Amino acid sequence: MTDPAPSDSVVTWTTEGPAFVVRLANPPANQLGQSLLDGLSAALGAFEASAARILVVRSGLDGFFAAGADIKLMAGADRATLRALDMMLTAREVPAEEALAIGLLDRVTEPGGALEQALELAGQFGAMSRPALAAVLRCVDDAAELPLAEGMAREADRVTDLLDSPDGQEGLAAFIAKRPASFA
């Protein structure tokens, strides 16, 4: 069991099945200020200590997921702290469809449907091998940071490690038996 978020925090969390649901509520528009960043850090620590397998981050405010950096926080930021310059410098809002098209979002739902879809996706991920999901994420990170040959060598090592793991053995056995895998 993880410690709950402080009741006066702008970031709270609950566990719903395999999902650890983080709720952002920093009125008026979920600005990425220090209290929200501290709350996210605490939530991530609680997630890592929990038995939940999937992290879902949602807004607790109507009409906003996150409005962007708090100008007071941004004024003291160094160059490495700054991620989407076009949007920050122009202060323009990005409609959901454009955010989807430029890779800021993976999915867009109908109003009110985000949590339901996130929990459905969490259920799908929850049934998968946690080590395999982690390996995929590490491979994606490697692809962005390493030369191609080194990234592919690491991917091959990870595949070999996964095949030797209990989840790898379960996945192979399930495939051969034509049954769903049951990962720990």
DSSP string, 66-82: --EE-HHHHHT--GGG-
Domain with CATH 3.90.226.10 in the chain: 11-126
The SS3 of residue 63 is: coil
pLDDT tens digits, one per residue of 93-117: 788 888 888 778 888 888 888 899 9
The CA–CA distances, whole Å, from 176 to 75, 126, 173, 182 equal 58, 22, 5, 14
The pTM score is 0.55
Burial of 94 (0-12, 13-18, 19+ CB in 10 A): middle
As a CATH number, domain 130-177 is: 1.10.12
The label of the residue with tokens 């609680």 reads 46
Give per-residue pLDDT as tens, 153-165: 999 999 999 999 9
| 14, amino acid identity | T
Amino acid at residue number 87: M
For CATH 1.10.12, the residue range(s) in the chain are 130-177
- Domain 11-126: assigned CATH number: 3.90.226.10
CB 107 within 8 A of CB 100: yes
Question: How far, in Å, CA of 126 to CA of 120, rounded?
Answer: 10
- pLDDT given at position 78: 56
Which comes out higher in pLDDT, residue 62 or 184? 62
The answer to whether 69 touches 31, Cβ cutoff 8 Å, is yes
